Amino acid sequence: MTRATQVRLCAMMFLQFFIWGGWFVTMGSYLASNLHASGAQSALAYSTQSWGAIIAPLIVGLIADRYFNAERLLGGLHIAGGILLYALFSSRDFQGFYPCVLAYMILYMPTLALVNAIAFRQMAEPARHFSAVRVWGTIGWIVAGLVISYLFAWDSRAGMAQGLLRYTFLMCSLASFALGVYSFTLPRTPPRASRGGHSRLGRLLGFDALVLLRQRNFAVFFVASILICVPLAFYYQNANQFLTEIQVANATGKQTIGQMSEVLFMLLIPWFLRSCGMKTTLLLGMLAWSARYVLFAFGNAHELAFMLIAGIALHGVCYDFFFVSGQIYTDARAGTEHKAAAQGLITLATYGVGMLVGFSAAGRIDDLYATGSAHDWRSIWLYPAAFAAVVFAVFAITFRNERVAGAAAAWRAT
């Protein structure tokens, strides 16, 4: 891979995640303050991510892998996405907003696999080069949050009162059009898959990996992965709305501390896996979820603001130590025959089933503790804190410790 190609792939990753981070983080605040959406309606909007995750393997596997160059499909999806993001910018009520966000996420989620496919095909040694390209996606997400808070102040109290958060959709619409056009200039990535194949649909959804559930430890991990996504959904749906509602200044910008910590703790995963084993590493991730919600429950925007910052900064431990380590564990336990199917199964179970349940629960609990436009956030946050604590305890009792061979190598390849 030439230096010029690497720069082009980095730009692709930057725009890919700038687009997602530029509206998804603040959507809950926008829906509550501008469209006067209920918790249940916000849950419906956020659950479109899960429906997109469920449908994405079908679009990528049945269409991209067979009939179209990945870069062309990527371009077409982002141009169509730009139109839908502009429709979201123009929506004035939830009834008009929801169909557009559902259609958008069905188109966006497959692009996550497409950008990876384009990048991998240009690399002779993906294990060496992919992380240096992928990190620009995290940088794109961070820049989006900083732009919203510190450049335009759309998430400020005055900005939200004027309805300025809607401009996040316009900003991301323009970025989506830009990436759509740019995608057609990316290196050619023709389909490789054959047109035949028995049970193709089952393999795309990861069902071939169900045989792994015969392994007791993997079955415990599989169920825990679904359950821990319930409290995860509370963070995605409520964190920005919580911070803006209690009047934390530059809330969206401060949330990027979570992505910064994600990069830092990613570097620590190999050491923890070698020194502590898989079980301890996964448990630390689960415990961090419970701890962050306790910090949110008892922190405030004034003298206890440090508790909120600490809770945000725990995102690196929450995500990396459970979800990234879990990907490594899945890869190690799947074997050569089931590697791809196993990762697909875990993605379907977590971002599909687990988060669908989580968003629904978050919406119901939000409405239970809502009084007009305000919420009893302490009570709301204690629910996912308690749930994560229970999952932690059950996992600690039922999962047997393992030291996964080649963990560091597997991490470098992700």
**Closest among 347, 348, 411, 12 to 189, alpha carbons compared:** 12
Other beta carbons within 10 angstroms of residue 181's beta carbon come to: 13
Statement: residue 254 has pLDDT above 70: yes
Domain range summary for the chain, segments of one domain joined by +: 1-186, 206-414
CA angle 261, 262, 268 (to 5 degrees): 90
Percent of the chain with pLDDT over 70: 89
CA dist 170 and 31 (Å) reads 15
Which stretches of 183-260 are assigned E, i.e. beta strand?
none
Are 1-186 and 206-414 the same fold in CATH?
yes
CA dist 215 and 219 (Å) reads 6
**60-103 confidence digits (pLDDT tens):** 666 766 788 889 999 999 999 999 999 999 999 999 999 999 99
pLDDT of residue 399: 94
pLDDT of residue 373: 84
Q: Which two tokens stand for residue 365?
A: 């609990």
**Closest among 296, 279, 316, 290 to 391, alpha carbons compared:** 290
Q: How far is CA 130 from CA 66, 146, 413, in A?
A: 24, 25, 7
Residue with the larger pLDDT of the pair 386 and 68: 386
Statement: residue 127 has pLDDT above 80: no
Element of type H or E holding 5: helix 3-21
pLDDT of residue 199: 46
CA dist 274 and 285 (Å) reads 16
pLDDT of residue 236: 95
CA dist 380 and 39 (Å) reads 12
Percent of the chain with pLDDT over 90: 67
pLDDT of residue 361: 97
Looking at 1.20.1250.20, 1.10.3720.10, 3.30.420.40, 1.10.10.60, the CATH number of the domain 206-414 comes to 1.20.1250.20
Q: Which two tokens stand for residue 222?
A: 């599989």
**15-26 confidence digits (pLDDT tens):** 999 999 999 999
| 1-186 is classed CATH 1.20.1250.20 | yes
Total count of residues recorded for the chain = 414
CA dist 282 and 326 (Å) reads 7
